[in-house]
Amino acid sequence: MKIRYVIKRLSNPRVRRRLKIGSSLFGGAILIAVVLKIVYDIGYFDAQALKQANKTELPTSNPVLNLKSAQLIVSGALKEDVNTPKTLVTEIVSDNSSLATVIIENNRVKKVGWIINSRLFFTGNLYNEVGINLTEGIERQYNEPFAR
């Protein structure tokens, strides 16, 4: 008995029209959701590919500071000619990747220099977080007359 009642209601033209409109809106919403999902997936996979490409470009090993690279950093920081520098790196005391200590010589005067992150170079006094002068410590360790 209930089935006949439902069929009778569905045969009404007004109800059919409302069902068509409702199913069209529901189908349109599903279609928009599928298109947005596809667009999102394409963008996500493109972003992942870009991340992978950036990871392959990064060096996997820590850069090692040698005399030649230290000389290039010092010459560049002092704006000297790289081929004929006036200031020479004579020794690398510590080869830390973030803070390297070098001994430089200019006109037979030796100084302690600091190379930070393989870029920044300076010859002033360097203090640690406790307040100890690291430059004086290097000078005492090597027992050489360094210029100030």
Specify the CATH superfamily of domain 67-142: Disulphide bond isomerase, DsbC/G, N-terminal (3.10.450.70)
Statement: residue 27 has pLDDT above 80: yes
**DSSP output for the chain:** -HHHHHHHHHTSHHHHHHHHHHHHHHHHHHHHHHHHHHHHHHHHHHHHHHHHHHHHHS-SSPPPP-HHHHHHHHHHHTT--SSS-SSEEEEEEEE-SSEEEEEEEETTEEEEEEEETTTEEE-S--B-TT--BHHHHHHHHHT-----
What pLDDT shows up at residue 62? Answer: 63
What pLDDT shows up at residue 65? Answer: 81
Q: Is the pTM of this model over 0.85?
A: no
Statement: residue 142 has pLDDT above 90: no
Per-residue pLDDT band at 31 (split at 50, 70, 90):
very high
What pLDDT shows up at residue 51? Answer: 82
Mean pLDDT of 110-133: 79
